[in-house]
Structure 1
Amino acid sequence: MNLHAVDADGLPLALRSRSRPETGGNVRIGELAALTGTTPRMLRHYEQHGVIVSSRTQNGYRDFDAGQVATVTAAKELIDAGIPVRVVTSLLAIASTRAPVDPHHLDDDALAQVREHWERLCRCIECITQRRDALSRFLDQPPTGT
């Protein structure tokens, strides 16, 4: 089954076959991880930073609303792009409820944070490129006689 296929409401089709009446169709951490291509550890990290929220079942398991699949997917895309989780948390808090997050949904402050991070990445790329080129020059030197 395609774990990423969604219904007309944006909820994963994979939830239909695993819906549990006792949880109102919510998903546990392992299921959410599988549906979003992340890990339970990463989801706990997201929860610690306020990206997602869970409730607890009677036996203490984390229980996530199925609608958080879109939130996790958007967060993962932003984090994979190099945006720190603290910035992602604020971006998702102010962004439209639609996913994925679009720059046009952000206010000026949030967009400035993203641009600042982009500029920092550009500086890192420039520095790494200079180091790579220096290393290439070193490796391309003809061997010296011993």
Structure 2
Amino acid sequence: MRIGELARLTDTPPRLLRYYEEQGLLTPRREANGYREYDESLVDRVLQIRGLLDAGLPTRIIKQILPCLDSPRKIHFADATPEMIATLECETERMERRIRCLTRNRDAVLEYLAAVKELA
């Protein structure tokens, strides 16, 4: 598929898809005319990248952990420095805090909705 279709399927601007390519997060094939050709599997990859970015991970870390998200999982330890491990541990804890906050907010909204529906 072309970049426009991938952009539509993932709700991601083409410019952002090209940025992911520059960062080494996506690797489309190139046709003879230079057009990018994206494999169907890259739809899931883009959604993974967006989710990790939304969770606050920087692209340099995403690039290192993306291979671990493939099926079957391929784990690479070549670049796992003590600093990287510490960063991942900090990021994991930060995501856990955010999940707890989002869960509390969701529960509050659900309670509010239930109360509003009772009155309706």
Q: Deviations over 1:21-66 (max 9, x none)?
A: xxxxxx1111111111111111111111111101112222111111
Q: Percent same amino acid among aligned pairs?
A: 37
Partner of 2:91: 117
Q: Which structure 1 residue ranges, 4+ long, deviate > 6 Å from structure 2?
A: 105-108
Q: Which has the larger radius of gyration?
A: 1
User: Larger % of helix: which?
Assistant: 2
C-alpha distance in structure 1 between counterparts of 2:40 and 2:94, whole Å: 35
Would you say 1:39 and 2:17 are equivalent positions?
A: no
Partner of 2:2: 28
If the length of structure 2 is used for normalisation, what is the TM-score? 0.61
- Which residue number corresponds to residue 42 of structure 2? 68
Structure with the larger RCO, 1 or 2 (CA within 8 Å, 6+ apart): 2
Distance 1:96 1:79 in 2: 17
* Counterpart in the other structure of 2:23: 49
- CA gap 1:111/1:62 in 2 versus in 1, 3 angstroms: same
Cα distance per residue 1:88-131 (max 9 Å; x no partner): 11110233427xx9xxx978957643322356787xxxxxxxxx
What SS does structure 2 have at the residue aligned with 1:113? helix
**CA RMSD, Structure 1 to Structure 2 (Å):** 2.9
Q: Gaps (5+ residues) in structure 2?
A: 98-120
SS at match of 1:97: coil
1:81 to 55, 78, 84: 55
Q: Which residue of 2 aligns with 1:20?
A: none
The size of the alignment, in residue pairs, is: 91
Q: Provide the C-alpha distance between the structure 2 equivalents of 1:94 and 1:78, rounded to a whole number of angstroms.
A: 13
Q: Which residue of 1 aligns with 2:118?
A: none
Q: Which residue of 2 aligns with 1:137?
A: none
